[in-house]
A and B are shown apart, each in its own frame.
Chain A
Amino acid sequence: MADPYLRLDQLEVTFTGGRSPVRAVNGVDLTVDSGETVALIGESGSGKSVTLRAILRLNPEKKTRIGGKVTVGGRDVMGLGNKALAQFRGGEVAMIFQEPLLALDPVYTLGDQITEAIRRHEPISKADARKRALSLFERVRIPSPERRLDTYPHEMSGGMRQRAMIALALACNPKVLLADEPTTALDATVQIQILLLLRELQREFGLSIIFVTHDLGAAVEVADRIAVMYAGRIVEEGSARDIIHTPRHPYTIGLLKSRAHGAMTKGRRLDAIAGSPPDLADLPKGCAFAARCTLATDPCRQTQPELIQTETGTRARCLRTDQTLTRPGELVGA
């Protein structure tokens, strides 16, 4: 089998700016093949955004300690020089954000922001860059694209802004798209349109996508594989089908249960499990989920569980997967 296009090896991100170091990401292994879509789900604060930013080296460099390895297209991202990094950002890996109104410069027109990105990566004229921006706007189906190029972010609706942001992300033909909750801030109907658009573009351009979301429904909709994050670690990972039908980590099961009971409708945050995540500045020695887990025993609190292959397809970071076998269909649709 060929090497995966994007690969995280034991990625660690620690913020050292505050009083005590905050360990936001603690050894994440993740691979994404060319043309594959992987969803990253987990509660607020579990380190999803920090992981994405680490891939583009966007975390504040001076206040951050990075460990592990990020490889994209065979290149070691941590070793890139300034020039190569600038080319890499947007040209190889692009990112779209949750709230385009905040993620776009408010005092530049959308057209200017897109042409700026294109001209940063390629030596082409303003007019040609603008032509490309126009065709991108057409591609993401923004109505009257010519006129919209000259508008400012605040003059557009949320859905149109997100389309513009996607156009900006695709402007320099990246191979990987990092989507950080691209639909959370949108209405339900607009969410679906954006998801469909992303899936369509993904097929057309053969993009690899890491799709961060709180929304299991959206994850299943677009992702080939799902990785569940908790306290800066991936606690369970597998094909979307296996995660949904035979989850083995108690946290994943909790997420699915809360969804099955209707406690989590589309777009709502994953907050239906009792208790709260651990303090990232003071992580427990053993399993980080132990304080909230009904199956927790002493060994759970003593040793850090490894990610193990379960017989039902997923890989789970849990010592007691023998206790977590659910009947197929029990958690979904039943």
Chain B
Amino acid sequence: MLRYLVYRVVYAIPILLGVALVCFALVHISPGDPLISVLPADASVELQQRLLVIYGFDRSYPEQFILWLGRALSGDLGTSIASGRPVATEVFRAVGNTLLLAAVATVIGFFLGCLFGFVAGYFSNSWVDKAASTLAVLGVSVPHYWLGMVLVIIFSAQLGWLPATGAGPGGSGQWKWDWVHFQFLILPAVTMSVIPMGIVARTVRALVADILAQDFVTGLRAKGLGDLGVFFHVVKNAAPTALAVMGLQLGYLLGGSILIETVFSWPGTGMLLNTAIFQRDLPLLQGTILVLALFFVFLNLLVDVVQTALDPRIQRS
């Protein structure tokens, strides 16, 4: 198991390098001068030159890459052009918020998805299954910003139960673990949970139906196990795949929440990306994408390792 772990980590290094290179290149192949947006319209050529040197844009690309990578590795992701604050600070605060939102959404989605999936799988092809499956399909296919707005209209505008936007009272971006702050999390998390809910439900339904149709279930009954006993075996058989799907969903939510975060003004990476793009803040964009990509690689790694640890059928080579 340890050897497998080391092997997987070593294996991830070239992927990480590739990711870094793509992040770097992504910004430099986009058209336009990165400094235009921060310079006053009547800035002198001299000032322009000075800023170019300060931000390092005057060097060759390979040089810039090495420097950038070296600094990134030591935790310095540069300075945001728009805000003047360190990118790392901005990114990590946003990552924290996004992680919180994504994690809560994934947990809700996983729980409901498993529930629907198990019920549908156990009663496959009955009306219960069809109802649960329809719900799952709706979850995957409904536009989430639309759902978000509907929820806001109902629970914030009409009923006034929950706040509509932000991550805390007064538009503060600072998260705290108390009910006042938690209220702000509910609507975006529920909106977001619909995605993993649908996908987990579909996966689990297929898994459970497939497992129940296997011969070994007859074998379990033949040795005297009842429904509950069989259920534990089904869970253990379904767990590796279901957990893997959950892990990947968490990864997708980390990066793919621009729309939801924008709708709810949730100060996470999605909103940060949004800001960076519209303000043409290249260091911020680079840093955010890099950190998100790293997260994804790490999550994939984690999912693989966990799945291997749980499923004896996967060869540990």
Contact = CB atoms under 8 A, between A and B. Distances in A.
Interface residues of B, number: 20
B223 A108 contact: no
A106 B211 CA distance: 11
B236 interface: yes
B312 A56 contact: no
B223 A120 contact: yes
A316 to B, nearest CB: 32
A90 B223 CA distance: 4
A102 B215 contact: yes
A24 to B, nearest CB: 15
Contact of A172 (B219, B224, B226, B240): B224
A97 interface: yes
B221 interface: yes
A103 B218 contact: yes
Interface string B23-34: 000000000000
A280 B20 CA distance: 65
Contacts of A116: 223, 225, 229
Interface in A155-179: 168-169, 171-172
B312 A102 contact: no
Interface in B220-266: 220-226, 229, 233, 236-237, 240
B214 interface: yes
A114 B107 CA distance: 35
Given A102-B215, A107-B311, A82 B221 contact: no
A116 B311 CA distance: 19
A102 B224 contact: no
A163 B237 CA distance: 23
Contacts of B237: 105-107
A105 B219 contact: yes
A108 B221 contact: no
Contacts of A169: 223
Interface in B288-317: 311-313
A58 interface: yes
Interface string B81-93: 0000000000000
Interface in A81-123: 82, 86-91, 94-95, 97, 99, 102-109, 116-117, 120-121
A53 interface: yes
A132 interface: no
Contacts of B216: 102-106
Nearest to A57: B221
Contacts of A95: 219, 222
A166 B312 CA distance: 23
Contacts of B226: 82, 86
Nearest to B221: A58
B218 A53 contact: yes
Given A94-B222, A152-B313, 7 more contacts: A58-B218, A87-B224, A95-B222, A105-B220, A106-B313, A116-B225, A120-B224
A154 interface: yes
Nearest to B226: A86
Contact of A117 (B214, B224, B233): B224
Given A108-B236, A120-B229, A99 B215 contact: yes
Contacts of A105: 216, 219-220, 233, 236-237
B219 A103 contact: yes
A171 B222 CA distance: 12
Chain A CB within 10 Å — which of B218, B223, B226 has the most? B223
A117 B220 CA distance: 9
B311 A89 contact: no
A13 to B, nearest CB: 15
Contacts of A58: 218, 221-222
28 contacts: A58-B218, A58-B222, A86-B225, A88-B224, A89-B224, A94-B223, A95-B219, A97-B219, A102-B214, A102-B216, A105-B216, A105-B219, A105-B220, A105-B236, A106-B216, A106-B313, A107-B313, A108-B236, A116-B223, A116-B225, A116-B229, A117-B223, A120-B224, A120-B225, A154-B312, A154-B313, A171-B223, A172-B223
Interface in A168-194: 168-169, 171-172
A102 B218 CA distance: 10
Nearest to A114: B223
B219 A104 contact: yes
A108 B219 CA distance: 13
Interface string B185-219: 00000000000000000000000000000111011
A168 B223 contact: yes
A34 B312 CA distance: 41
A35 B216 CA distance: 28
A58 B219 CA distance: 9
A213 B311 CA distance: 34
Nearest to A88: B224
A80 B156 CA distance: 57
Kindly name the residue among B219, B236, B313 whose own CB sees the greatest number of chain A CB atoms within 10 A: B219
- Counting chain B CB atoms within 10 Å of each CB, the highest count among A104, A107, A108, A109 belongs to A107
B313 to A, nearest CB: 6
Contacts of A108: 233, 236
Nearest to B218: A58
Nearest to A171: B223
A102 B312 CA distance: 15
Interface string B122-156: 00000000000000000000000000000000000
Nearest to A17: B125
A148 B216 CA distance: 19
A117 B236 CA distance: 17
B276 to A, nearest CB: 45
A117 B216 CA distance: 14
A86 B236 CA distance: 22
Contact of B224 (A91, A104, A107): A91
Contacts of A89: 221-224
A249 B218 CA distance: 34
B215 A103 contact: yes
